[in-house]
Amino acid sequence: MFRTAIKMAPTSASDIPSLNLLYKLNKLKVSELGPLKGASPVHNDRIGLFHGDITTLSVDAIVNAANTSLLGGGGVDGAIHRAAGPGLLAECRTLGGCPTGSSKITSGYNLPCNKVIHTVGPIYDYTQATESEKDLRNCYLSSLELATQNGVKTIAFSAISTGVYDYPSEDAAHVACDTVRKYMDGDDTKSLDKVIFVTFEKKDYMAYSSLLPHHFPPSVPASQDQDNITRGQAVEAEVKASHLPNVPTTDPADSGHVPKKRSQVSGE
């Protein structure tokens, strides 16, 4: 049975609350793990967290959890291809595929974003966890490097490999946060204005909510931060948050459900 997708208004990068704002509103809690060694709040205004449909984001680039063919598949990969239209598939056919851990960039076509960065995550192997982590880390690093090379200022990452590729959500969130933080630590020219972690499934949202404070701790204790925020700032922030779209209850941009198979041709 096919469903008609509900077209949602695009959400800009500036509409998505930064970590600093989430801390001020007490919507992000201090990590029980404490801050990671070397972690600081210096990037908190440049990091965002969005729980919803990545195909609705009006940013410079979104990162697609693609498969090696780059020709579309299930999950977020299929959703991005459906929302972008046939032009995306036509361009992807010219790219000759992409190996695991690498990334390639295309135009966004009918999507509200300007570019799509396609990265191929690993199918998680518990017996070769170190190799899986290396491949996943390379996905984020190669995507960030492509973004910088192409003048991308705002970039939104899907939760790579945590769907049918079975990468544990908490482990994947740790790799994503750690790789982005280290890249931004070395970003001397501050080429990236905002990096947004996008989650669709609740398990991924919970993983990022738990681990972001570990990698990007608040600048001051949460209680003190709340004391410093003015009533006007709080109202403005709540209004901004209330205007974000609700989390969809079906696959993003899904016009019908096709059973997912765990293979390198299904994406995510």
Neighbouring C-alpha atoms within 13 Å toward the C-beta of 243: 15
> Which of 21-30, 43-52, 253-262 reaches the highest mean pLDDT?
43-52
Lowest model confidence (mean pLDDT) among 35-44, 199-208, 223-232: 223-232
Architecture of domain 44-220: 3-Layer(aba) Sandwich (3.40)
Name the CA dihedral angle for 159, 101, 182, 237, rounded to a multiple of 10 degrees. Answer: -20
| pLDDT tens digits, 91-118 | 999 999 999 999 999 999 999 999 999 9
Dist CA 70 CA 92 (whole Å): 6
Residues 6+ apart with CB under 8 A from 54: 62, 76, 79, 80, 156, 158, 198, 200, 252
| pLDDT tens digits, 162-221 | 999 999 999 999 999 999 999 999 977 689 999 999 999 999 999 999 999 999 999 865
pTM of the entire structure? 0.83
Residues 6+ apart with CB under 8 A from 96: none
Domains in the chain: boundaries: 44-220
Contact predicate 230/191, CB 8 Å: no
